[in-house]
Amino acid sequence: MRLTDKICIVTGAAQGIGLATALKFAREGATVVVCDIHAEAVDTAVAQCEAAGAKAEGHVVDVTKREQVDAMVQAVKDRHGRIDVLVNNAGITKDARLQKMTEAQFDAVIDVNLRGVFHCAQAVADTMVAQGQGVILNASSVVGIYGNFGQTNYAASKFGVIGFTKTWSRELGPKGVRVNAVAPGFVETPILLTIPDKVLDHMRDQVPLKRLGQPEEIANVYAFLASDEASYVNGAVLEVSGGMTV
């Protein structure tokens, strides 16, 4: 198992890619720290991780609230003495064309997808540097590389996450801390539930593999990057999209 005895924090871990990542890490031997804003969903995810044979604990955390992030990180450090991996997965969408997007829509997405990533990474950085090792993995998107119609706020946040990744890999790399990003394409998660079937069919047609990705396929990449097998991967943005941008 690639993550045996690793203390791994996953935000947005109660559904979708976050839950798949928590379960993958559990199967790889990690102690999984499940973070999400929904208490019942956190409890369910923790139970699923434990059923997979892992040690797991849950924290109700809103990543936009720095005091909640700091409290969670301190609790994890107090209990385990270290933090090995942070997966900055929490994210939201509030789509609209530029001319129709409200400030509230823009601010909400930037607050979760960008400020939340900053909060969590900054909260664990000192611990990882003191350890002389650690891994920070950030959720970007193909939208954060190529843009997308109706997603000014989301694209800006995911472009920003790439900027974070490149910068932190330079700052923290000399201290033994690797920072990488994953840029998923279209993945079948609850975030797509509001999209009409016609649009989903069009999305599939854009992918050479002619299907949407599964959350587990993104989780597999996170597990690789979190493991020692990726010990020389730093500052990378790994696109996992079925070749949709080829």
Query: Active-site residues: which are they?
Result: 154
Q: How far apart are the first and last CA of the chain?
A: 33
Distance CA 136, CA 226 (A): 8
Q: 25: which 2 tokens?
A: 């890490």
The residue type at 170:
R
Read off the DSSP letter of residue 228: G
Distance (Å, rounded) from C-alpha 213 to C-alpha 99?
31
**CA atoms of 188 and 134, how far apart (whole Å):** 30
With b for 16 or more beta-carbon neighbours within 10 A and e for fewer, the 124-133 pattern comes to bbebbbeeee
